Amino acid sequence: MDLDISQLSNVLAMWMCLVVLLSFHEFAHAWMAYKCGDDTARIMGRMTINPVVHIDPLGTVFIPLAMLLLSPDFIVFGWAKPVPVNPSNLSSRKRDDILISMAGPAMNIILAFVLMFVLRLMELSPSISNSAIVEQLPEIALISLFLCFFNLIPIPPLDGSHVMRHVVGMSEEMYYSIAKWGLLILILILNFFPIVGFVIYNITLAVRELMKVLLLFP
């Protein structure tokens, strides 16, 4: 595949944006764990937005870059190293586990809203409304929202699986035994049931459009 300098620059720029979004996502998990009484992530240096400590070679580098290079028109996604949590430090294992797991997706929604808010402010300024930065903000917001809703899929070890585990009363042993095969299960589901990805993508688009409507201030 031949890429010119401009296309390669766009690929690297979108990849760096994804890395930043993933870093904020993991920071949110670590911050919420700290607020719930577990300082494991903070001690290990994970309560930060510094991308270096969150990068997973496969999920943060290889797969996202491959997606951007091979399918530049497809929305990119990835994952970072999971934030370590010691359940014994939590005052309420069930409540706190749900709060910690939902903190990441919540951060992605907040980031998307902030990006769309900045976009709206820039659109109101004629001098910068047609800049390259303005054109990329909706795409970055879309990636952030996609990360949110993708992570809500109830397949271990995705964030939504923590809520599912408590709803169905699954034991920790059973959960972690399934989580070992989580990536393979996820790949098989997305491959044999593409409707899952289609639904997530359309929910993502709908939420971004809703944000646009909410930000139509004079």
Contacts 24+ apart (CB under 8 A), 56-64: 56/80, 56/81, 60/18, 60/19, 60/22, 64/15, 64/18
Buried residues in 104-113 as b, exposed as e (16+ CB within 10 A): bbebbbebbb
Say if residues 122 and 134 touch (Cβ distance below 8 Å): yes
Active site residues: 26
Query: CB neighbours of 89 closer than 8 A, spacing ≥ 6?
Result: 37, 38, 39, 40
Instruction: Give residue 51's identity as a one-letter amino acid code.
Output: P
Nearest to 32 by CA among 113, 40, 145, 109: 40
Say if residues 145 and 108 touch (Cβ distance below 8 Å): yes
Helix (H, G, I), strand (E, B) or coil at 136: helix
